[in-house]
Amino acid sequence: MVLLRRRSTTKNTNDRAVRAGEAAAAAAHASAPPRAPGEDGLPPRIGAAFFDLDNTVMRGASIFHLARGLYARRFFGARDIARFGWQQARFRLGGEHMGHVGDAQEAALSFARGHTVEEIRVIGEEIFDECMADKIWPGTRGLAQMHLDAGRQVWLVTAAPIEIATTIAGRLGLTGALGTVSETRDGVYTGRLVGELLHGEAKAEAVRALADREGLDLTDCSAYSDSANDIPMLTLVGDPCAVNPDARLRRHARAYGWRVKDYRTGRKAARIGLPAAAGVGAVAGALVAGTAVRRRVPGRI
């Protein structure tokens, strides 16, 4: 009985990952620029590059920057942002324990329920310009530009909401983004996800689904991430690369001969064995900074 229950849970988890990936790919494909057809009348199969966002393209976690901005705009209170930040850190640092995933999903959805897609999109643009733009890693941005200059598509792949992810990709001049898709009704968020957060296996499903839609040859694609949670995505492509890797991804990359790039300075790159402290610090920093800013300029960052 226990074995059957475990198998059922695993199947449900996989089903949610597939749904999340397909929804993200459909949204990304719909917003992607059209490609000119080849001699056979069909778009030629091309290579692409896929970039994780948090700690790969951007220093820190985009969701914390988003939470700070929403807190400053009075979307929720101090207790909410503390709970939200802790659940996100526990989810990211503790792996895919289903109880933690459920908590993270609930927290991730709470800020958008009842708000319109257009409202969140506009606020996301403001928050990026105000507190995300200066946190982009120059080295990783250079890698993305190298792929763009070579005529390849470049996609962000992140658990951040698709509206925020698309804004960031647009600001960086990338092709587009794969992100977590939330259910909407008449342009208003219902508070439910389509599938699950775009994390772990769901990211791999999204990349696979987008490759089918866009005619991408995954053996001629690259992928970049800092986290061992993204090994499923990295394994899909012919050219995986660990960027600012955590300890487990660094070991995996070395074992399989993957490229490793580290843009962190000083001894920071060596202190990858203390992720929990970094996560708690990020939560505390987001809360303190958000409180200070809100007191200084009500309603704005």
Task: Give the max Cα distance, the chain.
Answer: 62
d(CA 301, CA 126): 9
Buried b / exposed e over 193-224, threshold 16 CB at 10 Å, is bbbbbbbbbbbbbbbbbbbeebebebeebbbb
Instruction: Give the catalytic positions in this structure.
Output: 52, 54
Helix segments in the chain, DSSP class H: 2-31, 62-72, 78-94, 98-110, 117-127, 138-149, 162-171, 201-214, 231-236, 247-256, 275-296
Residue 34: partners with Cβ closer than 8 Å, 6 or more residues away: none
